[in-house]
Amino acid sequence: MSIRLLSVVLAMTVLATACASTSGKVLSDGPEESNSTATTFVPPLTGPFDPTGGAARDTTGAELIVDADYATTLPRLLSSLPWDTDWSRRSFADWSELIRGLQQNDPRDVIPPIDSPVFETVDAASQWLGPREPGALVRHGDEVRFYPLGILTRHEIVNDVIGDVPIAVTFCPLCNTAITFDRRVDGEVLRLGVSGLLRNSDLVMWDATTLSLWQQLTGVGLVGEYAGTQLDIIPSAIVSFEQFATDFPDGRSLAAESGGGRRAYGINPYRGYSTSESPFLFAGELDDRYPALSRVVGVDIGAGKAYPFSELKQVGAINDTVDGQAIVVWLAGDTADALDDQAIAISQEIGTAVAFDRVVDGQELSFTATDSDRFVDDQTGSIWSVLGLAVDGELEGTQLRLAPHRNEFWFAWAAFFADATVYGG
Protein backbone atom coordinates (compact mmCIF):
# COMPACT_ATOMS: atom_id res chain seq x y z
CA MET A 1 0.00 0.00 0.00
CA SER A 2 1.39 3.42 -0.99
CA ILE A 3 2.07 6.07 1.63
CA ARG A 4 -0.58 8.32 0.10
CA LEU A 5 -3.24 5.61 0.07
CA LEU A 6 -2.33 4.68 3.63
CA SER A 7 -2.91 8.30 4.63
CA VAL A 8 -6.39 8.09 3.08
CA VAL A 9 -7.19 4.94 5.06
CA LEU A 10 -6.01 6.54 8.28
CA ALA A 11 -7.91 9.73 7.52
CA MET A 12 -11.16 7.83 6.97
CA THR A 13 -10.68 5.94 10.21
CA VAL A 14 -9.97 9.13 12.13
CA LEU A 15 -12.94 10.89 10.52
CA ALA A 16 -15.37 8.08 11.34
CA THR A 17 -14.15 7.88 14.93
CA ALA A 18 -14.32 11.64 15.36
CA CYS A 19 -17.83 11.88 13.95
CA ALA A 20 -19.03 9.06 16.17
CA SER A 21 -17.47 10.49 19.30
CA THR A 22 -18.73 14.04 18.82
CA SER A 23 -22.40 13.18 18.16
CA GLY A 24 -22.48 14.96 14.84
CA LYS A 25 -19.95 17.72 15.52
CA VAL A 26 -16.79 17.92 13.44
CA LEU A 27 -13.27 18.36 14.67
CA SER A 28 -12.09 21.89 15.45
CA ASP A 29 -8.58 23.12 14.87
CA GLY A 30 -6.93 26.25 13.54
CA PRO A 31 -7.84 29.95 13.75
CA GLU A 32 -10.70 31.69 12.00
CA GLU A 33 -9.82 34.11 9.21
CA SER A 34 -11.45 37.11 7.51
CA ASN A 35 -11.87 38.63 4.03
CA SER A 36 -14.77 39.91 1.85
CA THR A 37 -16.10 39.91 -1.72
CA ALA A 38 -19.11 41.50 -3.50
CA THR A 39 -20.22 42.67 -6.97
CA THR A 40 -23.47 43.28 -8.86
CA PHE A 41 -26.24 40.70 -8.63
CA VAL A 42 -27.73 39.23 -11.83
CA PRO A 43 -30.90 37.09 -11.66
CA PRO A 44 -30.00 33.39 -11.77
CA LEU A 45 -31.48 30.41 -13.53
CA THR A 46 -35.27 30.47 -13.34
CA GLY A 47 -35.98 26.77 -13.45
CA PRO A 48 -34.56 23.27 -13.80
CA PHE A 49 -32.87 22.09 -17.00
CA ASP A 50 -35.52 21.03 -19.50
CA PRO A 51 -33.90 19.40 -22.54
CA THR A 52 -35.91 19.89 -25.73
CA GLY A 53 -34.09 17.35 -27.85
CA GLY A 54 -33.53 14.41 -25.52
CA ALA A 55 -34.89 12.77 -22.42
CA ALA A 56 -33.00 12.62 -19.14
CA ARG A 57 -30.82 9.51 -19.00
CA ASP A 58 -32.25 6.27 -17.66
CA THR A 59 -29.94 5.17 -14.86
CA THR A 60 -32.17 2.59 -13.23
CA GLY A 61 -29.52 -0.05 -13.85
CA ALA A 62 -30.35 -3.75 -13.55
CA GLU A 63 -33.90 -5.02 -13.66
CA LEU A 64 -35.60 -5.16 -10.26
CA ILE A 65 -34.95 -8.45 -8.47
CA VAL A 66 -37.58 -9.66 -6.00
CA ASP A 67 -36.22 -12.60 -4.03
CA ALA A 68 -38.35 -14.17 -1.32
CA ASP A 69 -35.43 -16.45 -0.42
CA TYR A 70 -32.96 -13.59 -0.05
CA ALA A 71 -31.97 -14.81 3.45
CA THR A 72 -30.11 -17.72 1.90
CA THR A 73 -27.92 -15.46 -0.26
CA LEU A 74 -27.64 -12.31 1.85
CA PRO A 75 -24.00 -11.95 3.02
CA ARG A 76 -23.35 -11.89 6.74
CA LEU A 77 -21.99 -8.35 6.60
CA LEU A 78 -25.49 -7.24 5.56
CA SER A 79 -27.63 -9.70 7.53
CA SER A 80 -25.82 -8.70 10.72
CA LEU A 81 -26.85 -5.07 10.35
CA PRO A 82 -29.61 -4.07 12.82
CA TRP A 83 -31.81 -2.64 10.06
CA ASP A 84 -35.39 -3.37 9.03
CA THR A 85 -34.59 -2.81 5.36
CA ASP A 86 -36.58 -4.99 2.92
CA TRP A 87 -33.66 -7.06 1.62
CA SER A 88 -35.96 -9.04 -0.69
CA ARG A 89 -35.97 -6.22 -3.27
CA ARG A 90 -32.83 -5.04 -5.04
CA SER A 91 -31.84 -3.45 -8.39
CA PHE A 92 -28.41 -5.01 -8.83
CA ALA A 93 -27.39 -8.63 -9.26
CA ASP A 94 -24.37 -9.30 -7.07
CA TRP A 95 -24.54 -8.82 -3.29
CA SER A 96 -20.74 -8.80 -3.15
CA GLU A 97 -20.73 -5.33 -4.72
CA LEU A 98 -22.00 -3.90 -1.42
CA ILE A 99 -19.21 -3.53 1.12
CA ARG A 100 -18.80 -1.82 4.47
CA GLY A 101 -16.86 1.41 4.42
CA LEU A 102 -17.37 1.82 8.18
CA GLN A 103 -17.16 -1.07 10.62
CA GLN A 104 -19.47 0.05 13.44
CA ASN A 105 -22.33 -2.31 14.40
CA ASP A 106 -24.75 0.24 12.95
CA PRO A 107 -22.76 2.52 10.62
CA ARG A 108 -25.70 4.69 9.56
CA ASP A 109 -24.91 8.38 10.00
CA VAL A 110 -21.60 7.73 11.75
CA ILE A 111 -20.64 10.32 9.16
CA PRO A 112 -23.47 12.70 10.10
CA PRO A 113 -25.49 14.48 7.42
CA ILE A 114 -26.64 18.06 7.97
CA ASP A 115 -30.40 18.20 8.53
CA SER A 116 -30.79 21.82 9.66
CA PRO A 117 -28.54 23.85 7.35
CA VAL A 118 -27.75 27.47 8.15
CA PHE A 119 -26.71 29.91 5.44
CA GLU A 120 -24.71 33.12 5.47
CA THR A 121 -23.97 35.99 3.14
CA VAL A 122 -21.04 36.04 0.73
CA ASP A 123 -19.30 38.60 2.94
CA ALA A 124 -19.67 36.41 6.03
CA ALA A 125 -18.52 33.28 4.18
CA SER A 126 -15.46 35.08 2.80
CA GLN A 127 -14.18 35.49 6.37
CA TRP A 128 -13.32 31.78 6.45
CA LEU A 129 -13.50 30.48 2.87
CA GLY A 130 -10.57 31.03 0.51
CA PRO A 131 -11.34 32.24 -3.05
CA ARG A 132 -10.15 28.97 -4.65
CA GLU A 133 -12.08 26.65 -2.35
CA PRO A 134 -14.57 24.46 -4.24
CA GLY A 135 -18.24 23.97 -3.51
CA ALA A 136 -21.47 22.74 -5.05
CA LEU A 137 -23.47 25.51 -6.74
CA VAL A 138 -27.23 24.95 -6.71
CA ARG A 139 -29.69 27.36 -8.33
CA HIS A 140 -33.48 27.30 -8.27
CA GLY A 141 -35.82 30.18 -9.02
CA ASP A 142 -34.31 33.31 -7.46
CA GLU A 143 -32.19 31.36 -4.99
CA VAL A 144 -28.50 30.54 -5.45
CA ARG A 145 -26.58 28.53 -2.85
CA PHE A 146 -22.99 27.42 -2.39
CA TYR A 147 -22.15 24.28 -0.40
CA PRO A 148 -18.38 24.21 0.37
CA LEU A 149 -16.77 20.84 -0.26
CA GLY A 150 -14.75 21.52 2.86
CA ILE A 151 -18.01 20.95 4.76
CA LEU A 152 -19.37 18.21 2.50
CA THR A 153 -16.24 16.04 2.82
CA ARG A 154 -17.12 15.69 6.52
CA HIS A 155 -20.90 15.28 6.22
CA GLU A 156 -21.49 14.04 2.64
CA ILE A 157 -25.21 14.93 2.66
CA VAL A 158 -27.13 18.15 3.33
CA ASN A 159 -30.91 17.77 3.54
CA ASP A 160 -32.23 21.17 2.52
CA VAL A 161 -35.15 23.02 0.93
CA ILE A 162 -34.54 25.54 -1.84
CA GLY A 163 -37.59 27.51 -2.93
CA ASP A 164 -40.32 24.96 -2.40
CA VAL A 165 -38.21 21.95 -3.40
CA PRO A 166 -36.81 19.57 -0.75
CA ILE A 167 -33.31 18.68 -1.93
CA ALA A 168 -30.34 16.62 -0.83
CA VAL A 169 -26.94 18.02 -1.77
CA THR A 170 -24.54 15.07 -1.70
CA PHE A 171 -20.81 14.54 -2.11
CA CYS A 172 -18.87 11.31 -2.27
CA PRO A 173 -15.17 12.09 -1.67
CA LEU A 174 -14.04 8.68 -2.94
CA CYS A 175 -15.62 9.33 -6.36
CA ASN A 176 -15.48 13.17 -6.34
CA THR A 177 -19.20 13.29 -7.17
CA ALA A 178 -21.28 16.27 -6.02
CA ILE A 179 -24.90 15.57 -6.99
CA THR A 180 -28.14 17.27 -5.94
CA PHE A 181 -31.41 15.34 -5.74
CA ASP A 182 -35.07 16.21 -5.35
CA ARG A 183 -35.83 14.09 -2.29
CA ARG A 184 -39.54 13.70 -2.94
CA VAL A 185 -40.72 10.19 -3.84
CA ASP A 186 -44.37 9.15 -4.14
CA GLY A 187 -45.47 12.21 -2.19
CA GLU A 188 -43.02 11.52 0.63
CA VAL A 189 -40.17 13.87 1.51
CA LEU A 190 -37.21 11.65 2.34
CA ARG A 191 -34.49 12.37 4.83
CA LEU A 192 -31.31 10.90 3.35
CA GLY A 193 -28.34 9.74 5.40
CA VAL A 194 -24.94 8.05 5.04
CA SER A 195 -25.39 4.27 5.31
CA GLY A 196 -21.73 3.41 5.87
CA LEU A 197 -21.88 1.06 2.87
CA LEU A 198 -20.14 1.51 -0.48
CA ARG A 199 -20.69 0.15 -3.98
CA ASN A 200 -17.96 0.62 -6.57
CA SER A 201 -16.34 2.89 -3.97
CA ASP A 202 -19.37 5.20 -4.13
CA LEU A 203 -21.47 6.42 -1.21
CA VAL A 204 -24.60 4.38 -0.53
CA MET A 205 -27.31 6.51 1.08
CA TRP A 206 -30.30 5.41 3.14
CA ASP A 207 -33.68 7.03 3.73
CA ALA A 208 -35.28 7.27 7.16
CA THR A 209 -38.80 6.60 5.83
CA THR A 210 -38.45 3.12 4.31
CA LEU A 211 -34.80 2.30 5.22
CA SER A 212 -34.15 1.77 1.50
CA LEU A 213 -30.57 2.09 0.21
CA TRP A 214 -29.68 4.47 -2.63
CA GLN A 215 -26.70 4.83 -4.97
CA GLN A 216 -25.31 8.36 -4.68
CA LEU A 217 -23.69 8.48 -8.11
CA THR A 218 -26.90 7.62 -9.97
CA GLY A 219 -29.72 8.35 -7.52
CA VAL A 220 -31.12 4.84 -8.04
CA GLY A 221 -32.69 2.83 -5.22
CA LEU A 222 -30.52 -0.23 -4.58
CA VAL A 223 -32.31 -2.21 -1.89
CA GLY A 224 -35.68 -2.00 -0.15
CA GLU A 225 -39.11 -0.63 -0.91
CA TYR A 226 -37.66 1.92 -3.34
CA ALA A 227 -35.30 -0.46 -5.15
CA GLY A 228 -35.19 0.55 -8.82
CA THR A 229 -36.71 3.99 -8.14
CA GLN A 230 -34.85 6.96 -9.68
CA LEU A 231 -34.45 10.17 -7.69
CA ASP A 232 -34.78 13.28 -9.84
CA ILE A 233 -31.39 14.97 -10.28
CA ILE A 234 -31.24 18.76 -10.02
CA PRO A 235 -28.43 20.22 -12.15
CA SER A 236 -25.58 21.61 -10.06
CA ALA A 237 -21.85 22.25 -10.51
CA ILE A 238 -18.57 22.27 -8.59
CA VAL A 239 -17.23 25.84 -8.72
CA SER A 240 -14.87 28.01 -6.70
CA PHE A 241 -16.08 30.31 -3.95
CA GLU A 242 -14.68 33.31 -5.84
CA GLN A 243 -16.61 32.40 -8.99
CA PHE A 244 -19.80 32.02 -6.97
CA ALA A 245 -19.23 35.29 -5.10
CA THR A 246 -18.47 37.24 -8.29
CA ASP A 247 -21.47 36.12 -10.32
CA PHE A 248 -23.92 35.73 -7.43
CA PRO A 249 -22.93 38.12 -4.63
CA ASP A 250 -26.46 38.03 -3.22
CA GLY A 251 -26.32 34.24 -3.03
CA ARG A 252 -26.01 32.35 0.24
CA SER A 253 -23.30 29.97 1.40
CA LEU A 254 -23.69 27.02 3.76
CA ALA A 255 -22.40 28.19 7.14
CA ALA A 256 -19.98 26.15 9.19
CA GLU A 257 -22.35 26.40 12.15
CA SER A 258 -24.65 24.01 10.28
CA GLY A 259 -22.42 21.13 11.28
CA GLY A 260 -21.42 22.35 14.70
CA GLY A 261 -17.96 23.74 13.96
CA ARG A 262 -15.91 25.96 11.71
CA ARG A 263 -12.18 25.58 11.93
CA ALA A 264 -11.68 22.02 10.64
CA TYR A 265 -13.73 22.50 7.51
CA GLY A 266 -10.78 23.72 5.46
CA ILE A 267 -8.82 20.56 6.26
CA ASN A 268 -9.03 17.69 3.77
CA PRO A 269 -9.38 14.34 5.61
CA TYR A 270 -8.47 12.48 2.38
CA ARG A 271 -5.02 13.97 1.90
CA GLY A 272 -3.26 12.79 -1.26
CA TYR A 273 -6.22 10.73 -2.49
CA SER A 274 -6.78 12.40 -5.87
CA THR A 275 -3.10 12.05 -6.80
CA SER A 276 -2.82 8.41 -5.73
CA GLU A 277 -2.72 5.64 -8.32
CA SER A 278 -5.82 3.66 -7.44
CA PRO A 279 -9.25 4.20 -5.87
CA PHE A 280 -9.97 3.19 -2.30
CA LEU A 281 -12.20 0.17 -1.56
CA PHE A 282 -12.84 -0.47 -5.25
CA ALA A 283 -12.92 -4.15 -6.25
CA GLY A 284 -14.04 -3.78 -9.85
CA GLU A 285 -11.99 -3.93 -13.02
CA LEU A 286 -10.36 -0.60 -13.89
CA ASP A 287 -10.77 0.85 -17.39
CA ASP A 288 -7.25 1.78 -18.45
CA ARG A 289 -8.17 4.27 -21.17
CA TYR A 290 -7.50 7.04 -18.63
CA PRO A 291 -5.84 7.14 -15.20
CA ALA A 292 -8.30 5.87 -12.57
CA LEU A 293 -8.30 9.10 -10.54
CA SER A 294 -8.29 11.52 -13.46
CA ARG A 295 -11.45 13.61 -13.72
CA VAL A 296 -14.24 13.66 -16.29
CA VAL A 297 -17.43 15.67 -16.74
CA GLY A 298 -20.23 13.10 -16.97
CA VAL A 299 -23.25 14.57 -18.80
CA ASP A 300 -26.58 12.93 -17.86
CA ILE A 301 -28.62 13.26 -21.05
CA GLY A 302 -29.88 10.23 -22.96
CA ALA A 303 -27.26 7.50 -22.80
CA GLY A 304 -24.80 9.98 -21.29
CA LYS A 305 -21.35 11.12 -22.37
CA ALA A 306 -18.08 11.75 -20.53
CA TYR A 307 -15.65 14.59 -21.24
CA PRO A 308 -12.17 14.02 -19.76
CA PHE A 309 -10.54 17.05 -18.15
CA SER A 310 -7.45 16.20 -20.22
CA GLU A 311 -9.44 16.88 -23.41
CA LEU A 312 -10.99 20.06 -22.01
CA LYS A 313 -7.59 21.45 -21.02
CA GLN A 314 -6.50 21.39 -24.65
CA VAL A 315 -9.35 23.53 -26.02
CA GLY A 316 -11.16 25.10 -23.03
CA ALA A 317 -14.62 24.61 -24.57
CA ILE A 318 -16.24 21.65 -26.36
CA ASN A 319 -19.44 22.30 -28.33
CA ASP A 320 -21.35 19.06 -28.74
CA THR A 321 -24.76 17.46 -29.14
CA VAL A 322 -25.84 14.67 -26.79
CA ASP A 323 -29.01 12.76 -27.67
CA GLY A 324 -30.20 15.71 -29.75
CA GLN A 325 -29.48 18.31 -27.06
CA ALA A 326 -26.95 21.03 -27.93
CA ILE A 327 -24.56 21.51 -25.01
CA VAL A 328 -21.20 23.07 -24.28
CA VAL A 329 -18.69 21.82 -21.74
CA TRP A 330 -15.91 24.13 -20.63
CA LEU A 331 -13.03 24.37 -18.19
CA ALA A 332 -11.49 27.50 -16.66
CA GLY A 333 -10.25 29.04 -13.43
CA ASP A 334 -7.93 27.87 -10.68
CA THR A 335 -10.45 26.06 -8.48
CA ALA A 336 -8.65 23.98 -5.86
CA ASP A 337 -8.75 20.19 -5.60
CA ALA A 338 -10.65 19.29 -2.42
CA LEU A 339 -9.02 15.87 -2.23
CA ASP A 340 -5.28 16.52 -2.60
CA ASP A 341 -3.46 18.83 -0.17
CA GLN A 342 -4.31 18.78 3.53
CA ALA A 343 -5.31 22.44 3.32
CA ILE A 344 -7.98 22.73 0.62
CA ALA A 345 -7.38 26.46 0.06
CA ILE A 346 -3.82 25.84 -1.20
CA SER A 347 -4.41 22.51 -2.92
CA GLN A 348 -3.46 21.87 -6.54
CA GLU A 349 -5.39 23.61 -9.31
CA ILE A 350 -8.14 21.56 -10.94
CA GLY A 351 -10.29 24.28 -12.48
CA THR A 352 -14.04 24.55 -12.87
CA ALA A 353 -15.60 22.27 -15.49
CA VAL A 354 -19.26 22.93 -16.23
CA ALA A 355 -21.81 21.76 -18.82
CA PHE A 356 -24.54 24.06 -20.17
CA ASP A 357 -27.44 24.04 -22.58
CA ARG A 358 -26.13 26.25 -25.42
CA VAL A 359 -29.52 27.19 -26.88
CA VAL A 360 -30.63 30.74 -25.93
CA ASP A 361 -34.06 31.99 -27.04
CA GLY A 362 -34.17 29.34 -29.75
CA GLN A 363 -30.71 30.20 -31.10
CA GLU A 364 -27.97 27.59 -30.91
CA LEU A 365 -24.70 29.18 -29.83
CA SER A 366 -21.17 27.87 -30.20
CA PHE A 367 -18.39 28.96 -27.86
CA THR A 368 -14.64 29.49 -27.88
CA ALA A 369 -12.45 29.86 -24.79
CA THR A 370 -10.41 33.06 -24.37
CA ASP A 371 -7.10 33.55 -22.56
CA SER A 372 -8.80 35.26 -19.59
CA ASP A 373 -11.00 32.41 -18.31
CA ARG A 374 -13.89 33.78 -20.33
CA PHE A 375 -15.80 32.40 -23.31
CA VAL A 376 -17.11 34.11 -26.44
CA ASP A 377 -20.00 32.93 -28.57
CA ASP A 378 -19.52 32.93 -32.34
CA GLN A 379 -23.04 34.14 -33.11
CA THR A 380 -23.21 37.43 -31.14
CA GLY A 381 -19.66 37.96 -29.84
CA SER A 382 -20.96 38.13 -26.26
CA ILE A 383 -18.50 37.37 -23.44
CA TRP A 384 -19.44 34.73 -20.86
CA SER A 385 -18.15 33.85 -17.39
CA VAL A 386 -17.27 30.27 -16.46
CA LEU A 387 -20.61 30.08 -14.62
CA GLY A 388 -22.51 30.75 -17.85
CA LEU A 389 -23.31 34.44 -17.30
CA ALA A 390 -23.01 36.83 -20.26
CA VAL A 391 -20.97 39.72 -18.84
CA ASP A 392 -20.61 41.80 -22.01
CA GLY A 393 -22.08 42.11 -25.50
CA GLU A 394 -25.48 41.68 -27.08
CA LEU A 395 -26.59 38.99 -24.61
CA GLU A 396 -25.24 40.67 -21.47
CA GLY A 397 -27.18 39.55 -18.39
CA THR A 398 -28.28 36.24 -19.98
CA GLN A 399 -27.72 33.14 -17.88
CA LEU A 400 -27.10 29.79 -19.55
CA ARG A 401 -28.91 26.86 -18.01
CA LEU A 402 -26.90 24.08 -16.43
CA ALA A 403 -27.07 20.75 -18.17
CA PRO A 404 -27.36 17.78 -15.79
CA HIS A 405 -23.78 16.69 -15.18
CA ARG A 406 -21.22 15.68 -12.60
CA ASN A 407 -17.45 15.90 -12.13
CA GLU A 408 -16.22 12.46 -11.13
CA PHE A 409 -13.12 10.33 -11.17
CA TRP A 410 -12.75 8.27 -14.34
CA PHE A 411 -12.94 4.93 -12.54
CA ALA A 412 -16.36 5.84 -11.12
CA TRP A 413 -17.81 6.91 -14.48
CA ALA A 414 -16.44 3.77 -16.15
CA ALA A 415 -17.82 1.53 -13.39
CA PHE A 416 -21.38 2.83 -13.56
CA PHE A 417 -21.63 3.87 -17.22
CA ALA A 418 -19.35 1.43 -19.01
CA ASP A 419 -21.34 1.59 -22.26
CA ALA A 420 -21.60 5.40 -22.46
CA THR A 421 -19.66 7.42 -25.04
CA VAL A 422 -16.43 9.15 -24.08
CA TYR A 423 -15.37 12.28 -25.95
CA GLY A 424 -12.01 11.69 -27.60
CA GLY A 425 -11.90 8.10 -26.36
Q: In this predicted model, what pLDDT tens digit does every residue of 18-77 receive, in sequence order?
A: 443 333 333 333 333 333 222 222 222 223 333 222 333 344 445 799 998 898 999 998
Q: What is the pLDDT of residues 236-263, one digit of tens each?
A: 999 999 999 999 999 999 999 998 765 5
Task: Look up the pTM and report it.
Answer: 0.87
Contact 340, 138 (CB under 8 A): no
Question: Which has more pLDDT, 323 or 58?
Answer: 323
> In this predicted model, what pLDDT tens digit does every residue of 13-24 receive, in sequence order?
444 444 433 333
Rounded to an integer, what distance in angstroms lies between the CA atom of residue 223 and that of residue 185? Answer: 15
Q: What is the pLDDT of residue 263?
A: 57
Bigger pLDDT: 38 vs 169: 169
342/359 Cα distance (integer angstroms):
40
pLDDT at 21: 38
361 Cβ contact partners less than 8 Å away, ≥ 6 residues apart: none
* pLDDT tens digits along 116-127: 999 999 999 999
Listing from the earlier edge strand, what are the strands of the sheet with 252-254? 119-121, 252-254, 143-148, 134-140, 236-240
Q: Domains plus CATH for the chain?
A: 3-259 (no CATH), 295-422 (2.102.10)
Label residue 281 left, alpha or beta by phi (over 0 means left) and psi (-120 to 50 means alpha): left
Output the pLDDT for position 261: 63
Give DSSP secondary structure letters for 285-344: PPPTTS-TT-EEEEE-BTT-EEEEHHHHHHHSEEEEEETTEEEEEEEES-PBPTTSSSBG
With a pLDDT cut of 90, the percent of the chain lying above it is 79
